[in-house]
């Protein structure tokens, strides 16, 4: 169905795909794994004739057609009909101004023009039912934003398969979804594969790949560095980049049995927004030299909890005690003098910095709040996070994602805090960079005796850094305990489902 | 790296485009004409030679002559002074007043800000030209009135930008982070707002000078500005209206200069904005 | 939908409509009050202002006029009386013309409506055509330049140029105004050109922006060609962008009408306004302000409704699970 030999794509003089070869047979899933800028999406675009650059290949066969010299008009007969695309995030991949049913019907209308409206409608319902969409007739009348994330993604898949293509390109199909929903979508794709669909899976997530793919190709800088059956490649990586990728997958932390003293505690914290309960009666303790990991999906209340602990918001009930003293009940003015003790590393360092300030100024501002700001102190902080003098003058947009996050950490450390709150600090980073930042945080904790509160939706990441774990769902703590126990013997069903996915 | 990032990297640090250079040159020339008219013409704009009246463009009279025999090009050159005075004056006043109103509103407690915000929205609902017209109905016609009327009409636009920038900064991640760090809130916001706001406002003002010039010309054309025989561009154009059949050049050329002024301020303004976003 | 939901939806629509109407009235009231206050701020005695410095009118006559118009009453009484008359549709009487303002405005309204109506139609026609047809770097550059010139040119200058060329040189259109359709063409084109300049720019940009969104990629991956992509997807998104211009367009139309009617010597609200401004005929000015406010409020309402039709995310509905 798909035969590719020596495919190259060049854009603006840069070669983004360099001599890539692979085949795909019906009922099979080939995964292309790589980090950002590896060229995986460019490869997919070339298979659809939608590449913005120049495409050359010794062989490029899609569904039995040699497409190398295809005009756009001929490509249009293939797209949707023989080969289809499912992208990340149905919220933006489906037209938000059109009903779901119309989107699903589109491929049918384009390729099978003679059908009546009634016939098209039937085909739409059939397509939705084949992706296990509950209440298909009603859903077809709704708009994408009215469906939940998982249902939306099913609708997107249905719209891609409506005209019965042989090959489906799935480009990060589950990345925008909550973890539990991801599993269902992957099961759906596996079932479709069983029915004879050929799936080209593009992903950065090794867990997703291991669940779905029969064969895997590891891509870096436009080239395949390693290919083979999934179980082989993941168990016995040959190429050093593959090894680095696998090594970057977070492994649970080695926790020590001793527990430090309590530096911050919260009891019965509750926060409401109107009638919506964001945080419901949460109690926790943070200890010196140890990390409390808080894991939950979007909307579980973890970010609100972070803001409450930082004193950026006031709880409607309950209290936070910092170092034995009142914290949440203080006025802002009183709090400000004590802010030094607890600092924040945010998910979005780009938004956390004034884009017009240099790194030196960003860190200097933080230092100056507590002591005289000297170049020496700023450099000391930069070195602590693995950066150097050459970064002083740079602006945030001139730094990579990992470097920005390091600056954020340096800024947080500037005031010599006792407690560090990290709110999704590595979610936006590539796997290898993520591993580096997590290693840095663990090292800093050891060196400085920091107490950390680490918040994430990714249980694997939480497992890599936490001594104790708190699991949140809909504002409530559903499970808590030492990291080892929670990961090995989870009690709550929600925790169990999260653990199953690692 | 996405395709977008690739393109953006390729585009930074380029020299200004040719059209920006040309536009800036024209504006500089205009400024020179306003300050030192004799650089461009030796003729007197008020010098009426009936014998020379209604002559078409020639080597001696680049833009031709009007019904009183005055050289149209000289009148346009001397008119630059009035038009640029009104343009800069009105824009400067509107910028400063708008910035203050927007800042104050954005920093105020919510109910106050809501009220001022509503007022700004209502102010922006009326078209600038009409607003200026109505202001003149109140304060009377004349040259000074033009500046005041146009400034008042332009204030809501500046105030809206200043206010929205203030609100954005006030609720931004970096102010939140700074608050977590322990930086005092109010001073912090102002320190971040003013540099971030002045940028867009100055871009608006650059384009605003052009808009003000056109509005002033329109109001003078209707007879609400300075009186004849002042060589103000709008006045010349209204005289030209009666000569369309006999001497169309009296209307065509001055209007062309007005158009060019607006185009050049637009081009320069947008280039400035492009630089800021890059 | 179940029967239980249906009356709820109906009530919700009714409440929203009431909210819109209330908003409209608020804007109109705000404008009327602002105008009233502004006019009260005019320095000097309105009667003297209106009659002019050299008027040979006795003091008793002036006093009588003042009494007639209730100018001796305390401001609050004047204001309330003004509002009361406003509600009944009575806009007062013109100082100069000794006619009810409502009549003065009403007589000239149709002519101006015809002019602005034709202008907006032309503008839409031109903008949609260029937005559709213009693609590719060179075509876009040329058209962008033309648009820039159109938007930057003073409206009245365009009119003058058009008259000089098409009326005097080519004799295609009549020079002086009469009631024929032909005399409407040049003024309407003059008014339409600056608007089409910016409208086509926004529409074109809107189409380009929408085409770079992920859903456009999905649509093309289904086999859609460019015309189908526009018709089915991007046009709707671009239309939403275009709607944001509606307030600007209305403002340009109204302001431009004053200039265009003067340039072409047409009778209409524009000329009425100008005369009133020059003569300081304050009741007429106030009446015009109210009319403009009504126009804006109505257009805003229509635009808000159009937005909701276009973008389902803006509709207040019950969300499905």
CA distances from A253 to A291, A356, A418, A462 (A): 10, 38, 21, 9
Q: What are phi and psi of A386, to 5 degrees?
A: 85, 15
In terms of domains, do A266 and A134 share one?
A: no
A164 in any annotated domain: yes
Q: Give the distance, in angstroms, between the CA of residue C294 and the centroid of all CA atoms in the same chain.
A: 10
- Whether the predicted pLDDT of A342 surpasses 70: yes
pLDDT of residue A156: 93
Which of C164, C262, C263 lies at the smallest CB-CB distance from B252? C164
Q: Judge residue A346's burial from the number of C-beta atoms within 10 Å of its C-beta, 0-12 exposed, 13-18 middle, 19 or more buried.
A: buried
In terms of domains, do A237 and A283 share one?
A: no
A402 in any annotated domain: no
Residue C4 pLDDT class (50, 70, 90 cuts)? very low
The H or E element spanning position A263 is strand A262-273
Is the Cβ–Cβ distance between B198 and B140 less than 8 Å? no
The token duo for A304 is: 């609100």
- Whether the predicted pLDDT of B117 surpasses 70: yes
Residue C193 pLDDT class (50, 70, 90 cuts)? very high
CA–CA dist B134, B148 (Å, integer): 12
A20 in any annotated domain: yes
- Please state the domain count of chain A: 2
- Whether the predicted pLDDT of A61 surpasses 70: yes
A vs B, Cβ pairs < 8 A, gives: 56
Q: Provide, as residue numbers in chain C, all residues whose Cβ is less than 8 Å from the Cβ of B262.
A: 152-153
Mean pLDDT confidence for A11-33: 89
In terms of domains, do A21 and A136 share one?
A: yes
CB contact under 8 A, A107 and C214: no
Those residues with Cβ within 8 angstroms of residue C39's Cβ, 6 or more apart along the chain or in another chain: B138, C46, C282, C285, C286
CB contact under 8 A, C222 and A72: no
- Whether the predicted pLDDT of A199 surpasses 90: yes
What number of CA atoms fall less than 13 Å from residue A98's CA on the CB side? 26
Mean pLDDT confidence for B163-167: 85
Mean pLDDT confidence for B58-73: 78
Is the Cβ–Cβ distance between B266 and C148 less than 8 Å? yes
Q: Where are the alpha helices (DSSP H) in C88-181?
A: 101-133, 137-152, 155-162
In terms of domains, do A201 and A306 share one?
A: no
A401 in any annotated domain: no
Mean pLDDT confidence for A385-393: 85
CB contact under 8 A, C222 and A93: no
DSSP letter, residue A322: E
Residue B173 pLDDT class (50, 70, 90 cuts)? low
For chain B, the straight-line distance linking the first and the last C-alpha, in angstroms and rounded, comes to: 17
Among residues A216, A247, A278, which one ends one of the domains? A247
Weakest-pLDDT range from B28-42, B173-187, C121-135, C293-307: B173-187
Q: Give the distance, in angstroms, between the CA of residue A392 and the centroid of all CA atoms in the same chain.
A: 30
Among residues A224, A247, A270, which one ends one of the domains? A247
Is the Cβ–Cβ distance between A145 and A98 less than 8 Å? no
CB contact under 8 A, A93 and C218: yes
DSSP letter, residue C272: H
CATH of the domain at A68: 3.40.50.300
| Minimum CA–CA partner of C145 in chain B | B263
The H or E element spanning position A215 is strand A215-220
Q: Which residues of B touch C (CB under 8 A)?
A: 122, 124-130, 133-134, 136-141, 210, 214, 217-218, 221-224, 237, 240-241, 244-245, 248, 251-252, 255-256, 258-259, 262-263, 266-267
- Whether the predicted pLDDT of A148 surpasses 80: yes
Is the Cβ–Cβ distance between A460 and A250 less than 8 Å? yes
3-state secondary structure of A10: strand
Those residues with Cβ within 8 angstroms of residue B43's Cβ, 6 or more apart along the chain or in another chain: B71, B73, B74
A466 in any annotated domain: yes
Residue B3 pLDDT class (50, 70, 90 cuts)? very low
pTM of the model: 0.77
- Whether the predicted pLDDT of C5 surpasses 50: no
Q: What are phi and psi of A67, to 5 degrees?
A: -95, 5
- Whether the predicted pLDDT of B55 surpasses 80: no
Mean pLDDT confidence for B56-72: 77
In terms of domains, do A442 and A298 share one?
A: yes
Is the Cβ–Cβ distance between B28 and B265 less than 8 Å? no
pLDDT of residue B31: 86
- Whether the predicted pLDDT of A11 surpasses 50: yes
> Does B4 touch chain A if contact means CB atoms closer than 8 Å?
no
Mean pLDDT confidence for C26-37: 74
CB contact under 8 A, C254 and B127: yes
Which of A310, A343, A353 lies at the smallest CB-CB distance from B174? A353
Q: Provide, as residue numbers in chain A, all residues whose Cβ is less than 8 Å from the Cβ of C214.
A: 87-89, 92-93
Nearest by Cα to C249 from C191, C207, C185, C307: C191
- Whether the predicted pLDDT of B213 surpasses 70: yes
Residue B151 pLDDT class (50, 70, 90 cuts)? very high
Q: What are phi and psi of A37, to 5 degrees?
A: 65, 20
In terms of domains, do A78 and A158 share one?
A: yes
A382 in any annotated domain: no
Mean pLDDT confidence for A304-324: 84
In terms of domains, do A332 and A194 share one?
A: no
- Whether the predicted pLDDT of C63 surpasses 90: no
Q: What is the residue whose two structure tokens read 């692979």? A: A22
In terms of domains, do A241 and A293 share one?
A: no
CA–CA dist C254, A402 (Å, integer): 55
In terms of domains, do A194 and A334 share one?
A: no
In terms of domains, do A477 and A340 share one?
A: yes
CA distances from B37 to A112, A400, B251, C71, C145 (A): 72, 54, 21, 50, 30
Residue A304 pLDDT class (50, 70, 90 cuts)? confident
Is the Cβ–Cβ distance between C52 and C283 less than 8 Å? no
CA–CA dist A7, C315 (Å, integer): 47
Mean pLDDT confidence for C296-308: 84
CA–CA dist A500, B3 (Å, integer): 36
Tens of pLDDT, residues A221-250: 888 988 989 888 888 888 888 888 888 777
CA–CA dist C203, B83 (Å, integer): 33
pLDDT of residue A453: 92
Weakest-pLDDT range from A70-84, A198-212, B170-184, C295-309: B170-184
In terms of domains, do A268 and A242 share one?
A: no
> In the predicted model, what is the mean pLDDT of chain C?
79
Query: Looking at chain A from residue 146 to 165, which residues have their Cβ under 8 Å from any Cβ of chain C?
Result: 146-148, 156, 159-160, 163
Rg (CA), chain B: 23
Is the Cβ–Cβ distance between C51 and C57 less than 8 Å? yes
Q: Where are the alpha helices (DSSP H) in A298-386?
A: 302-310, 332-338, 349-352, 359-368, 375-384
In terms of domains, do A270 and A233 share one?
A: no
pLDDT of residue A124: 92
A380 in any annotated domain: no
- Domain residue limits at A299: 262-349+416-500
Weakest-pLDDT range from A15-29, A36-50, B190-204: B190-204
Which one has a higher pLDDT value, C77 or A434? A434
Which one has a higher pLDDT value, B277 or B207? B207
B vs C, Cβ pairs < 8 A, gives: 119
A383 in any annotated domain: no
Q: Judge residue A367's burial from the number of C-beta atoms within 10 Å of its C-beta, 0-12 exposed, 13-18 middle, 19 or more buried.
A: buried
């Amino acid at each position: 169905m798909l035969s590719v030999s020596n495919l190259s794509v060049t854009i603006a003089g840069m070669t983004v795909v360099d001599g890539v070869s692979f085949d795909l047979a019906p009922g099979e899933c080939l995964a292309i794994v790589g980090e950002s800028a590896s060229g995986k999406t460019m490869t997919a675009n070339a298979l659809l004739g939608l590449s913005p650059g120049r495409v050359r290949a010794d062989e490029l066969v899609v569904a039995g057609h040699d497409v190398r010299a295809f005009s756009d008009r001929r490509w249009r007969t293939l797209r949707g009909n023989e080969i289809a695309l499912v992208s990340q995030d149905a919220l933006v991949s489906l037209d938000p101004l059109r009903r779901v049913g119309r989107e699903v019907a589109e491929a049918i209308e384009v390729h099978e023009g003679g059908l009546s409206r009634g016939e098209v409608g039937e085909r739409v319902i059939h397509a939705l039912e084949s992706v296990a969409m509950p209440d298909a007739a009603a859903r077809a009348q709704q708009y994408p934003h009215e469906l939940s994330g998982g249902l939306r993604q099913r609708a997107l898949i249905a719209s891609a398969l409506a005209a019965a293509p042989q090959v489906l390109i799935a480009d990060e199909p589950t990345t925008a979804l909550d973890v539990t929903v991801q599993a269902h979508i992957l099961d759906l794709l596996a079932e479709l594969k069983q029915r004879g669909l050929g799936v080209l899976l593009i992903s950065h997530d090794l867990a997703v790949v291991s669940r779905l793919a029969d064969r895997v190709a590891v891509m870096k800088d436009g080239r395949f560095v390693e290919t083979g059956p999934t179980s082989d490649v993941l168990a016995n990586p040959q190429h050093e980049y593959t090894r680095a990728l696998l090594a970057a997958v977070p492994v649970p932390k080695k926790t020590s049995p001793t527990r430090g003293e309590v530096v911050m505690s919260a009891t019965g914290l509750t926060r409401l927004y109107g009638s919506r309960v964001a945080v419901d009666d949460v109690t926790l303790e943070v200890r010196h030299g140890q990390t409390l990991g808080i894991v939950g999906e979007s909307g579980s209340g973890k970010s609100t909890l972070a803001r409450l602990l930082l004193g950026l918001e006031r709880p409607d009930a309950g209290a936070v005690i910092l170092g034995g003293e009142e914290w949440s009940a203080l006025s802002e003015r009183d709090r400000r003098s004590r802010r030094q003790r607890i600092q924040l590393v945010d998910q979005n360092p780009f938004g956390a910095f004034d884009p017009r300030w240099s790194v030196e100024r960003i860190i200097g501002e933080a230092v100056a709040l507590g002591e005289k700001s000297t170049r020496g102190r700023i450099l000391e902080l930069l070195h602590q996070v693995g950066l150097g003098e050459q970064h002083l003058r740079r602006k945030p947009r001139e730094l990579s994602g990992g470097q920005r996050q390091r600056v954020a950490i340096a800024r947080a450390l500037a005031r010599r805090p006792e407690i560090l709150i990290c709110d999704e600090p590595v979610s936006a980073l590539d796997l290898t960079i993520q591993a580096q930042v997590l290693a840095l945080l663990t090292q800093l904790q050891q060196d400085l005796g920091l107490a950390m509160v680490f918040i994430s939706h990714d249980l694997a990441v939480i497992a890599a850094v936490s001594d104790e774990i708190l699991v949140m769902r809909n504002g409530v703590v559903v499970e808590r305990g030492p990291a080892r126990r929670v990961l090995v013997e989870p009690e709550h069903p929600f925790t169990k489902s999260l653990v199953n996915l690692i | 790296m996405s395709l977008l990032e690739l393109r953006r990297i390729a585009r930074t640090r380029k020299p200004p485009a040719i059209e920006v250079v040309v536009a800036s040159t024209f504006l500089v020339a205009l400024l020179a004409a306003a300050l030192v008219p004799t650089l461009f013409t030796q003729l007197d704009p008020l010098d009426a030679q009936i014998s020379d009246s209604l002559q078409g463009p020639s080597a001696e009279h680049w833009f031709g002559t009007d019904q009183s025999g005055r050289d149209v090009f000289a009148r346009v050159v001397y008119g630059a002074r009035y038009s640029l005075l009104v343009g800069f004056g009105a824009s400067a006043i509107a910028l400063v007043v708008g910035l203050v109103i927007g800042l104050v509103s954005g920093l105020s407690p919510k109910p106050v800000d809501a009220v001022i915000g509503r007022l700004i929205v209502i102010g922006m609902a009326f078209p600038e030209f009409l607003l200026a017209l109505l202001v003149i109905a109140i304060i009377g016609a004349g040259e000074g009135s033009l500046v005041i009327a146009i400034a008042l009409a332009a204030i809501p636009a500046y105030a809206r930008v200043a206010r929205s920038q203030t609100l954005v900064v006030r609720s931004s991640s970096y102010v939140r982070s700074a608050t977590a760090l322990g930086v005092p809130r109010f001073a912090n916001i102002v320190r971040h707002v003013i540099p971030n706001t002045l940028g867009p406002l100055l871009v608006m003002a650059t384009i605003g000078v052009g808009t003000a010039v056109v509005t002033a010309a329109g109001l003078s054309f209707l007879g609400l500005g300075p009186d004849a025989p002042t060589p103000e561009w709008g006045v010349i154009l209204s005289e030209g209206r009666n000569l369309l059949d006999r001497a169309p050049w009296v209307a065509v050329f001055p209007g062309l200069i007005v158009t060019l002024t607006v185009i050049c301020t637009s081009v320069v303004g947008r280039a400035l904005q492009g630089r800021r976003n890059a | 939908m179940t029967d239980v939901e249906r009356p709820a939806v109906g009530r919700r629509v009714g409440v929203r409509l009431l909210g819109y109407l209330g908003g409209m009235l608020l804007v109109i009231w705000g404008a009327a009050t602002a105008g009233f206050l502004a006019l009260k701020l005019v320095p000097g005695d309105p009667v003297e202002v209106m009659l002019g410095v050299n008027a040979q009118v006795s003091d008793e006559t002036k006093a009588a006029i003042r009494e007639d118009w209730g100018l001796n009453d305390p401001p609050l009484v004047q204001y309330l009386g003004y509002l009361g008359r406003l509600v009944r549709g009575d806009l007062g009487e013109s100082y100069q013309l000794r006619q009810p303002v409502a009549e003065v405005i009403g007589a000239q309204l149709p002519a101006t409506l015809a002019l602005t109506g034709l202008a907006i139609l032309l503008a839409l026609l031109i903008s949609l055509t260029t937005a559709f047809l213009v693609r590719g770097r060179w075509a876009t550059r040329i058209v962008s330049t033309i648009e820039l010139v159109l938007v930057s040119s003073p409206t009245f200058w365009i009119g003058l140029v058009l008259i000089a060329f098409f009326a005097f040189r080519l004799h295609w259109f009549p020079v002086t105004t009469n009631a024929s359709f032909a005399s409407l063409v040049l003024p309407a084109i003059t008014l339409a050109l600056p608007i089409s300049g910016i409208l086509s720019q926004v529409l074109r940009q809107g189409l380009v922006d929408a085409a770079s969104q992920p859903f456009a990629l999905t649509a093309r991956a289904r086999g859609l060609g460019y015309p189908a992509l526009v018709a089915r997807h991007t046009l709707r998104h671009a239309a939403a962008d275009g709607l944001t211009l509606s307030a600007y367009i209305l403002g340009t139309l109204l302001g431009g009408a004053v200039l265009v009617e003067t340039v072409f010597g047409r009778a209409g609200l524009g000329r009425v306004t100008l005369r009133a401004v020059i003569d300081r005929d304050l009741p007429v000015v106030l009446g015009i302000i109210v009319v403009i406010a009504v126009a804006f409020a109505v257009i805003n309402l229509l635009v808000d409704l159009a937005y909701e039709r276009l973008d389902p995310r803006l509709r207040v509905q019950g969300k499905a699970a």
